[in-house]
Chains A and B, each alone.
Chain A
Amino acid sequence: MFERFTREAREVVVGAQHEARVLHSPTIGTEHLLLALLRQQTPSAAVLIRHGLTPEEVAADVVRFTGSADLDADALTSVGIDLDAVRSTVEAAFGPGALDDPKQKAARNGHLPLTPRAKKVLELSLREAIAMRSRSITDGHIALGLLREGEGLAMKVLHDRGVDPVNLRQDLGLVLNS
């Protein structure tokens, strides 16, 4: 399947891995695919942005829904703990980076796995491409795959932002067919 992905589509998958890592997620979910799509400079990404999605706002939504798996300095401040003070004290005794996530350190070089839903999205992108008689799978087809899959955090973000999936699908279809 991946051999039919265009460069942009591959960049979305690689980008999603980066997004997952930045958000300290152990897996690549639909929300990371959406974020990576939004950071592309393609007609399809422009359609998503025209429908009121920006990477910054979507990233903020994702953190709000999932929380951060890493130490959250703001949240700790709310119970009177100064994370910077804790960090510098611990590092003074145990060395730099002592308080960093041991799992994150191990995962930094390895590949993160796709969630079943994200995998499904990529499979559906192939079907979308076939249905449109496209020889290759572009980032736009991944966007259509997200909509077709219809669930997951990416769709929740879309829904909460008042994006109309039917409209969005139509607009994506227009740029993909042109």
Chain B
Amino acid sequence: MADTAEVATAAGSKDPSVGLRAVRSLRVLVERLEVLQVQNARDQGWTWEQIAQLLGVTRQAVHKKYAGGRGPLRRKD
């Protein structure tokens, strides 16, 4: 594992191939965490409205992304 100084140096790196890969990976990480957290909130009986509010998006946005059609959290009934 890189030590703190190494990480700091890399974070300051201006090499786009490092920086852009980091951004992409962060986006993937955010997406995966969002699916988990939305799923968990629904399991605990949260409404789309409540979820949307905390995610800072509209109810329609979160509903469309997770409840509609072929999304991972679509209703199974």
| Known contacts A67-B20, A102-B72, A76 near B25 by CB under 8 Å | yes
Q: How large is the interface on B (under 10, 10 to 19, 20 to 34, 35 or more residues)?
A: 20 to 34
Q: Could you say which residues of chain A place their CB within 8 Å of the CB of B10?
A: 77-79
Are B29 and A71 in contact (CB-based, < 8 A)?
A: yes
Question: Using Cβ atoms and an 8 Å threshold, which residues of chain B touch A102?
Answer: 32, 35, 72
Provide the residues of chain B in CB contact with A68, threshold 8 Å: 21, 25
- Once the chains bind, are A71 and B7 in contact (CB under 8 Å)? no
Main secondary structure of the interface of A (DSSP, over half): loop
- Contact across chains for A98 and B26 when beta carbons are under 8 A apart: no
- Can you name the residue of chain A whose Cβ is closest to the Cβ of B6? A77
**Which B7-23 residues have a C-beta within 8 angstroms of A?**
7-8, 10-11, 13, 17-22
Binary contact track A21-51/B, C-beta < 8 Å → 1, others 0? 0000000000000000000000000000000
Q: Mark B54-75, 1 if CB is under 8 A from A, else 0.
A: 0000000000000000001000
Can you list 11 A-B pairs with a CB-CB distance of less than 8 A?
Answer: A67-B20, A70-B28, A72-B24, A77-B10, A78-B7, A78-B10, A79-B26, A80-B11, A81-B29, A82-B1, A86-B29
